[in-house]
Each structure stands twice: as C-alpha cells, then as structure tokens.
Amino acid sequence: MLDIKFIRENKDLLKEVFKNKGSKIDIDYLISLDEKRRNFISKIDTLKSEQNRLKKDEIEKAKKIKIEIKNLQKELGNVIKEYNNLMLLVPNIYSSDTPIGEDEKSNKEIYRYGEIPKFNFQIKNHIQLGKELDLIDFEAGVKTSGFRGYYLKNEAALISLALMWHCFFKMAQKGFMPMIPPTMLKEFALIGSGHFPFFKEEVYQIVSSKEILKEEDGEAIYLAGTSEPSLLAYFSNKILNENDLPIKICGFSQCYRSEVGSYGKDVKGLYRLHEFMKVEQVVLCKNSIKESDKWLEEMKNISCEILKELELPFRVIQICSGDMGAGKYKMYDIETWMPSYNCYRETHSDSNLTDWQSRRLNIKYKDKNGEKKFVYCLNNTVIASPRILIAILENFQQKDGSIRVPKVLQKYIGIDVIKKKNNERG
C-alpha cells in the first residue's frame, strides 16, 4: 500500500509504474474516490461541530442533523469500502535500476558462480535417482496426499532436514532471531504481506467437513505459503524504537501452496509442490532506501554463501518490472543449475518492499526526533526443500549410479556417498 498523499502528488509517475507492472488500476478514479472520501468526512465533521453547538431546546434541528449525519456516514462507508479495496491493489514503485519489461524475458543476469558439471555418462533426473536409490516415492505420495504428493525417504529425508537445520542455525549465528511461527493464519496477515488479494487463489483455506474453520471472531483461517506473513504479522500495530532497528528474523515452517495456474507445468518431480519446508528471513529496517538496499544485498549474499557451501552452480537474476509482483521495489531471484532441465531454475527469492507491507500492517517506529515512520520490510529465501534436492541429487550423481553428498552436509548424514540399498531395506 502506498501513501495516498504520495499517489496524489505523483500521478504521472504512478501511471508509468502501473503500466510497467501490468496494473489495470485507474489512478484518476482512485484519486476521485479519495476526494469523495475526504469531502464526506469534512461534511460529517462540520455537522458534528454544528451539532455540538446546538442549545438544548433546538431539538428539531438536532434530529435533522442527526439524520443527515447518518445518511452521509452510510454513503461514506460505501466509498471507503471501494477506496480501501483499490488501495490494496496499488503496486509499489520500483527502483531506478529495475529492468523494464513485461515478463521473465526482460530479467537481467547480474552474477554467475560455479562451473556447470560435465558428465561422461548418460545422466538421470532426480525422479529416476530417487526411485533407484530409494530416496523418493511419488506413487505412494499421490496415493496418500493426491496430486503432487511425495514421500522423502532415507538419505533424502536426512538431507532435507540437514539443510533446514544447517541454514536455520547459520542464520541464528548471523544475528537473525530464530522463530517457528504459526502456519495457520488469519486473513489480516495475508492482506498485510500482500499475498491477498493478489495471490488468494494460491492459498489454501482450511475447511472442515461441515463448514469453513473459523476463529471465535468469525475470521477464516488459511495455510501459509511461506513464513513471511506470520513473521511480519508478529509486529502488526506496533510502534518500535529506532534503536531496536534493524529487526532481523529467521523463520522455519512447513509451507502450502495450491499452485493454481501452474497446471501442466512441472507436473512430475519435486520442482512444483503443494507442501514443502522453508527457512525464510525477514528484515525490518529504518525508512531508508539506502539502508534497505544494503540489507537486500546482504540477504542475497547469505543465500549465495549457502549455495557455495553446497558446491552448486547458480546465477543471480534481477527481476524486471512486469515480473516482480505488485509490492516489490527491487527483487532478485537466485537460480540453481539443474542438469535434467539443462538450465538454471529458481530456488531463492530476495525482495525489498520498502513500506508497502508496513502500511498494510501498521508497523511503525519512533525516530530520534519522536516522529513516527513506517519501517521498511524485506524478505529472502534462505533455503527451500525439497526443490533444492533436485540440484543436489542431479549435480552430484556419479557414473555408478551413486550420489556424492556435499561436504558441508556429510556431518549430518554420516556418509559421503549415497549408494543403492540392499533389497531388504524399505
């Protein structure tokens, strides 16, 4: 959400932003709604002042003003509802160095690390490797969980949890407060993060056999697709002190996504799933582009550091205006090399959303002069599994069908090579 005053004063700039972000909002209509809203509020305030000045014997006039106020409040309520709905759809501005374009074709590679492995044998994809080495069972997963269901087994299960712990602990060592947040969320948390209304179709709503599961206040409950909304909502309606900033948080959670709109894409394997685990990091910092961009780079570098530890080839992509999402001011994706796809594919996402989320969640801080300002919010994928297993299993496969375990994970797994199991092992 943007400040309406900023919208009014930067109408031409925002028309360009809306165009380059693919937003269909009519900014002139939004501003006209705001004018109506302010006019109704002014009229109501004037009538209330007049009401307060009336003498006790002016009963008829008081009744008339009361009815007029009630009618105006009803009209104001309708305007506010439409105004608020539109404001939630207003995209953030983007940084001056963001590539301009409609889709991923305009994204820009800015960094590449590692050599793409060259195999002197016919490679197998992670599905084949998972089956032959008894690491993944998709058939049982579909039987039990439905489309895109899976079981991780044996070393794949150990590696997945090892990745979570290794990265979670690393973040704590880097000064990020570790949290295991709730994954069942009220709607306000998802509106606050910007996942609603933009991506509502991708979020699971919890439904019982009889009716939608609701809290006592009647609000519906949803499953989180990332820990970002719950980490941000922890600070909703709070006024922090400038000395407390930056606040650095690291969340571990199970994640759920319906993947609506992706049917037909990556229907096999571990790339696109309904359920997965992720370590996410969130930073709340001062209301400063310079400081927030510093954290954007630092968070990106942490993810790069982890991929280097895992000995995986990857590249960093700066995301263009039309591919970055409404709330993003500046965004990077990190793509890791996946041999069976013969290309780099996205495994991490790093975003600066400035005060777009904090305005929705009302997260402020008091600066040294006592002025209240909205914090700037950033988030980044530290690691997500099992998607990253595709890169690990495929890049480290060997000619004899075994898979080398990345050195950094060997202490957790207890072996350095994953070999075919004996027949008696299930």
- Does 292 qualify as catalytic in the annotation? no
Active site residue 349: yes
Residue 235, helix vs strand vs coil: coil
Among the options 280, 358, 387, 394, which is catalytic?
387
Give the separation between CA 370 and CA 367, rounded to whole angstroms: 5
- In whole angstroms, give the CA distance from residue 409 to residue 121: 25
Q: State whether the Cα torsion 36-41-47-53 is positive or negative.
A: negative
Encoded tokens for 202: 């991708």
| 316 beta partners | 111, 334
Question: Would the CA dihedral through 125, 128, 132, 135 be positive or negative?
Answer: positive
- Of the candidates 8, 37, 272, 345, the residue annotated as catalytic is 272
372-374, strands of its sheet edge to edge: 239-241, 364-366, 372-374
| Buried b or exposed e, range 212-244, using 16+ CB within 10 angstroms | eeeeeeeeebbbbbbbbbbbbbbbeeeebeeee
According to DSSP H, which parts of 249-288 are helical?
none
272 is annotated as an active-site residue:
yes
Report the DSSP beta bridge partners of residue 252: 279
Residue type, 119: F
For 170, half-sphere exposure in the C-beta direction (CA atoms, 13 angstrom radius) is: 19
**Helix or strand or coil: residue 325?**
coil
Residue 211 a catalytic site member: no
In whole angstroms, what is the distance from residue 387 CA to residue 406 CA?
16
CB under 8 Å to 7, separation ≥6 — which residues? 14, 27, 30, 31, 34, 90
Which listed residue (257, 321, 359, 394) is catalytic?
Answer: 257
- Which residue in 291, 346, 402, 404 is the catalytic one? 346
Q: Which of 230, 349, 358, 385 is catalytic?
A: 349
Q: Please state, as a whole number, how many other Cβ atoms lie within 10 Å of the Cβ of residue 343.
A: 10
Residues taking part in catalysis: 257, 272, 346, 349, 387
